[in-house]
Homo-oligomer: A and B are copies of this chain.
Amino acid sequence: VTGRREGYDPSSYPPVAVTVDLAVFTIRDGALALLLVERGSEPFAGRWALPGGFIEPDEDAQGAARRELAEETALTGLDVHLEQLATYTAPDRDPRMRVVSVAHVVLAPNLAEVRGGSDAAAARWCTVEDLLDEEGPDLAFDHDLIVRDALERVRSKLEYTTLAAQFVSEPFTLAELRAVYAAVWGTAPDLGTFRRKVLSTDGFVVPVTDRTGTDRVGGDGTASRSGPRPLLFRRGPATALQPAMLRPSTG
């Protein structure tokens, strides 16, 4: 009686808006952080929320997500990982009207700083630890739910893909890469096990042969530590881990 695709009359349905929301993760000072923007108008004025916006008539969700990402950050979007997470459709998730949101997850290397985008009121990085804390901010709409889903997606994807390398800027050391797992999972994988796994997985990382000019300078500018100079690597073409590298806590 209803719901079939045949014979649809748009004017007989209340209007629906379709948006994208972005859960942009990065590693800052060894901690997993998420990009938030401050809402300038009702509803939820003054509250923190995920960056996002409407899908334009000529673009798909992925295109809208990349455009919003470019507007909100300095990320050109070509070298960052962006994937669809899920779509949130609760009828009352936006009090103004029916809004269906296609959420995406973005993994970005450590950024210098957020530049408030072309029209964002304010933007900042918030550590996931602070966000999950009871004292932390409650996000607008159902964005707390989206963040929880996005976090679980990132945590589990580190187990069976090479996505961790998307969090470090090239060239990077294995210690930096291991720090990514520590930040995302909360516990670091065993050093020996980790090195064995990364180095034995073909195409996870590729060694950098030319190290001139990069001595003593990590991707985030760390310099002058003691100890031997670590080998440097770049991201390899592999995407899957076979078998998976499981989280220590959930093992």
Given A58-B91, A87-B61, A91-B60 in contact, is the A17-B8 Cβ separation under 8 Å?
A: yes
CB distance from A35 to the nearest CB of B (A): 15
Asked if A2 is at the interface (CB within 8 A of a chain B CB), the reply is yes
State which of A97-105, A216-224, A231-239 sits at the interface with chain B: A97-105
A7 CB contacts on chain B under 8 angstroms: 41
A243 to B251, CA, bound (A): 9
Is A16 touching B17 in the complex (CB atoms < 8 A)?
yes
Chain B residue, CB-CB nearest to A58: B91
Instruction: For A156, give the chain B residue with the smallest CB separation.
Output: B160
- Give the contacts of A59-114 with B (CB-CB under 8 A): 59-62, 64, 67-68, 71, 84, 86-87, 89-91, 96-98, 100, 102
Given contacts A10-B15, A55-B89, A84-B86, contact A1 B244 (CB under 8 A): no
Partner of A57, one of B13, B39, B59: B13
Q: Mark A1-25, 1 if CB is under 8 A from B, else 0.
A: 1111111101101111111000000
B91 touches A40 (CB 8 A): no
For A61, give the chain B residue with the smallest CB separation.
Answer: B89
Q: Does A119 contact B (CB under 8 A)?
A: yes
Give complex CA distance A54, B3 in Å.
5
Identify 8 residue pairs between A and B in the complex whose beta-carbon atoms are under 8 Å apart, listed by A's number: A1-B119, A3-B71, A5-B39, A8-B54, A16-B18, A18-B100, A61-B100, A100-B102
Residues of A within 8 A of B (CB): 1-8, 10-11, 13-19, 39-41, 52-62, 64, 67-68, 71, 84, 86-87, 89-91, 96-98, 100, 102, 118-119, 242-244, 246, 251
Known: A1-B119, A7-B41, A84-B87. 14 other contacts (CB 8 A): A2-B56, A3-B71, A5-B54, A13-B54, A16-B17, A16-B18, A18-B18, A59-B91, A60-B89, A61-B87, A62-B89, A87-B87, A243-B243, A243-B246
